[in-house]
Chains A and B, each alone.
Chain A
Amino acid sequence: MQRLSTGNPPLDRILGGGLPKSSINIVMGLPGTGKTILAEQLAFANGSVERPVLYLTTLSEPLQKIVGYLQELTFADVDRIGTEVQYETLVEPLRERPDQLADQVASFIERKRPSVVIIDSFKAIMELASDAAQWRKTVFDVASVLTAYDATALWVGEYAHDSVSKLPEFAVADGIVELRRL
């Protein structure tokens, strides 16, 4: 199985070389545990002009804030933003139709041809869903899109530990990385 570096060498060692390519992974943890920084490390470790990393922001933090802080991090080469690492927002389309997440992601895949798709925060989209049944269908549909295309997915969310047994996204994910404060 091919592996994709997370951009974090100690984590890569724990994971046996990185995340499995073409898999769906959840990065979970409470606010402040480093989820977004890990996602950005992975983005800058894997983006290329031919196959960029697509970083989709939702209703967790404004895109301006994410990119603003990003420039303070040593691994983030801002010259690569917009070509090798592409930031887009799902805020407006999802406010109107949260059930259209899969269609939005498919449209981005067609236009961008990404090697990695990061959705941050995935959990925030759940809070827009009208009910649990609609959310389960949305999760299934977006997982189907991401499985169809040769891309590795990272769903970032402020999930608590007990979410694993309760939410449908954990049933379809191939891998789960939980970050905690020590």
Chain B
Amino acid sequence: MQSASAPSVSPTSSGRALILVVEQDPQVRRLERYFLEQAGFAVEFAADGNQGLEAARQLRPDIVVAEILVAGLDGLSVCRALKSDPETCSIVVLIFSILAAEERARAAGADAFVRKPLDDIRLVSSIEALLAEHRRGRSNGDATP
């Protein structure tokens, strides 16, 4: 594996931004892990929506990347649950799905939507842009009296 350069986002205690991926397809998970880790992120996985919601509440990742089509709670429901909870509403959510569902993702409160199949440059640049925007938003909020 090539050495990974650190992304320009706020780091976790491990020094890397943490991504929680909610995805049930093992082949997609494999490629996501490779490309996201190579981009410098720490990556955790949940194979269904219920596990994803639980993991998000426990891990407090910098971003959740969720497929809509997962077992149990679907990705949009995971997004709605996170965004409606004051404890987790600040977690960035990116819906990454084979479904053409950008409008539904926005309506569920997602911060962005990226359509599959996996284009690693598009996915990584979308995540980096979202996290950078989130960091700027927090900085501005912190500066407000």
Contacts and interface: CB of A to CB of B under 8 A. Distances in A.
Interface residues of B, number: 13
Interface stretch (B7-15, B23-31, B71-79, B104-112): B23-31
A120 B119 CA distance: 24
B27 A145 contact: yes
Contacts, number: 34
A149 B25 contact: no
Given A110-B34, A110-B35, A144 B27 contact: yes
Contact of A147 (B26, B30, B35, B117): B117
Nearest to B98: A147
A113 interface: yes
Interface in A35-84: none
B43 interface: no
Nearest to B29: A148
B101 interface: no
Interface in A11-55: 22
Contacts of A113: 120
A22 B117 CA distance: 8
A140 to B, nearest CB: 10
A106 interface: yes
Interface string A144-161: 110111110000000000
B31 A110 contact: yes
Contacts of A85: none
A116 interface: no
A109 interface: yes
A110 B117 CA distance: 14
Q: Which 10 A-B pairs have the closest CB atoms?
A: A150-B119, A150-B117, A144-B27, A148-B28, A148-B27, A110-B34, A145-B27, A149-B118, A22-B117, A148-B31
Interface of B: 25-28, 30-31, 34-35, 116-120
Given A144-B25, A144-B26, A149-B31, 4 more contacts: A110-B34, A145-B30, A145-B31, A149-B118
